[in-house]
Amino acid sequence: MKIWLSIYAALLLHLAAVTSASSVHDSFAPVQEVLQVLSSLQHKVAEEGAAAERVFSEEKKFCSKRSRELRHSHDDMQAEQERQDADLSQAQLELASWSSKIEELANAFASDEKDLKEAEDLRFKDAKVFAEAEKGLSSTVDALDRAVGILGHEQRRAAQGGSLLQMEENGTPIVEALSAIVEAYGVKVDDQRQLQALLQGLRAETSEEEAEDAALNTAFGVEPATSKSRSRHLIGVLNEILEKAQGELEQLRGKEQRDLHSFELRKQSLADQMAFKKRDL
């Protein structure tokens, strides 16, 4: 458009110049001048057209390249968006999985803590029961051992003179002292009845006939046969009960050791499990 305006302006100027020229000029001079102007303008237009075509070609190449770049960029962005969407979906799945695993581990950890607390409470109760039972059985063993010793000692004294029924231990008749020992400590009911029967048998030997036999036999330094037999039998029974009590005490202590060992293993196992689960959390 700019080129054609230039041509039009040039023609107008030239025509004005021709019109004002002298009539003496040759009639063909204006035509030649117009042709020269047109030729010049043609050359100029051709140059400007070529330059414009080069600019257009360059702009076209640039636009094509830019279009390809934008298209590739769009494809890349779309692919990146799809990848990110896939990563997000995978992350959501993993988050749900980890949330479930964390909840499962937390529940298992709480369960282990509860089991450990229950095991510790049970161990405390068992230890308390054991301590009381051990104390009772130890007292029974000590009392029975003392009773056997006292009875043996008094039996030897009776052999030198006097009746076992009349012997005293710290101012208390020996039979009554034995009865007190039997009743005071944890002697089982059946054994207690057997001992009481023997002690009552010894007390029954206070009849007049046995007293006369005892007086005669004492003169020879011998304890009455009936009392001696009963006292020996009493010592035998006491020894049997003592052995039973000692056996029960040994079994009780053995059971306590096994229970304590089992508790320690259980405690260590739960502690390890809790440590592993806490690490995973």
Question: pLDDT tens digits, residue range 28-77?
Answer: 566 677 677 777 777 887 888 788 888 888 888 888 888 888 888 878 88
In this structure, what token pair is assigned to residue 137? 């059985």
d(CA 9, CA 5): 6
Which of the residue ranges 34-38, 95-99, 156-160, 203-207 has the most confident prediction, judged by mean pLDDT?
95-99
pLDDT of residue 224: 47
Provide CB contacts within 8 A for 33, sequence distance 6+: 14, 18
Q: Which H/E stretch holds residue 270? A: helix 225-280
Would you give the end-to-end CA distance of the chain in angstroms? 79
| pLDDT given at position 128 | 94
**Sequence spans of domains, the chain:** 114-280
Rounded Cα gap, residues 82 and 172, in angstroms:
104
Q: Specify the higher pLDDT residue, 57 or 202.
A: 57
- Residue 5 has a pLDDT of 53
Burial-class residue 254 by CB neighbours within 10 Å (0-12, 13-18, 19+). exposed
Return the pLDDT at 38: 74
Average pLDDT on 118-130 reads 93
pLDDT tier at 143 (50, 70, 90 boundaries)? confident
Query: Binning pLDDT at 50, 70 and 90, where does residue 171 land?
Result: very low
- Judge whether residue 250 has pLDDT over 90: yes
Mean pLDDT, rounded, of the chain: 73
Cβ-based neighbour number of residue 11 at 10 Å: 14
| CB-CB neighbours of 200 under 10 Å | 11
Under 8 Å between Cβ of 204 and 226 = no
Cross-strand bridge partners of residue 173: 168
Most confident of 36-40, 57-61, 142-146, 167-171: 57-61
Of 249, 223, 169, 234, residue with least CA distance to 198: 234
What pLDDT score was predicted for residue 208?
43
Q: How confident is the model at residue 254 (pLDDT cuts 50, 70, 90)?
A: very high
Q: Is 50 exposed, middle or buried (0-12, 13-18, 19+ CB in 10 A)?
A: exposed
Provide the pLDDT for residue 225.
45
109-112, Cβ contacts within 8 angstroms, sequence gap of 24 or more: 109/274, 109/277, 109/278, 109/281, 112/270, 112/273, 112/274, 112/277
